[in-house]
Amino acid sequence: MILDPLPLTPDHDIPAPLLTELTALYASNRDFHALSGDFPDPDDIRPDQVAAALAEELQVPGAEVLLARTAGQLAGIVIALAQHPDPSDPDPWIGLLMVDAGARRQGYGRRLASLVEERFRAADRTAVRLAVLDNNPDAVAFWTALGYETIAYGRDRQLDRPCTVLRKQLTTPSASSPGTDEA
């Protein structure tokens, strides 16, 4: 799986072929969008709506949209935040992780989460947070299976929906000292 930043045109638009791919990915997640209410009609997600949603995400300082490809196909998307808008929060955030519904149950979500965690580790970050809507228990189960722990309950900043805040400590592998053996 390859993870790359969202490429934009010189006018800061999403190239049309890519926007078509992104719209298909978003539309494949109809059930999530029905839960989240992020789009007016989860059965009719349009390119202009996807472009507007991503443009809004990119307005947040430190936000990055990352695309996951496997075998040349768009398999998923991640919106990562270098910092939360609350200055007292020291951790980066995963704002969204979405895998194409047709590619679910193939390990892509786990791999994508791992790649994002690796990016944060490489940036010397020690933990990562995310929020899951309370009406999405499958997402809570997914993240807790990956080692994320519930640290708070609250409401999301965008639409004031009830959510669970999860956090995962990001530890770097400890290198053994030269000349020593580990038992």
5-19, 125-139, 151-165: lowest mean pLDDT where?
Answer: 151-165
Residue 158's pLDDT is 78
Q: Is the dihedral of CA 110, 112, 118, 123 positive or negative?
A: negative
Could you give phi then psi for residue 153, rounded to 5 degrees? -125, 140
- pLDDT average, residue stretch 30-46: 92
CA distance 67 to 71: 13
Site of tokens 């299976």: 145
170 pLDDT tier (thresholds 50, 70, 90): very high
> Does 145 fall in a domain?
yes
Question: Which two tokens mark 90?
Answer: 């020291």
Confidence of residue 178 (pLDDT cuts 50, 70, 90): very low
Task: Domain of residue 9: give its range.
Answer: 2-169
Which residue's structure tokens are 């109809």?
30
| Mean pLDDT score of the chain | 90
Place 141 in a pLDDT band, splitting at 50, 70 and 90: very high
- Domain CATH for 87: 3.40.630.30
- What is the C-alpha radius of gyration for the chain, rounded to an integer number of angstroms? 17
How many structural domains is the chain composed of?
1
Question: CA nearest 142: which of 64, 84, 76?
Answer: 76
Q: Which of 70-74, 88-92, 102-106, 126-130 has the lowest mean pLDDT?
A: 102-106
Residue at 181 is within a domain: no
Position 62 in a domain = yes
| Per-residue pLDDT, 84 | 82
Token pair 């038992």: residue: 183
- Spatial CB neighbours of 124, under 8 Å, sequence gap ≥ 6: none
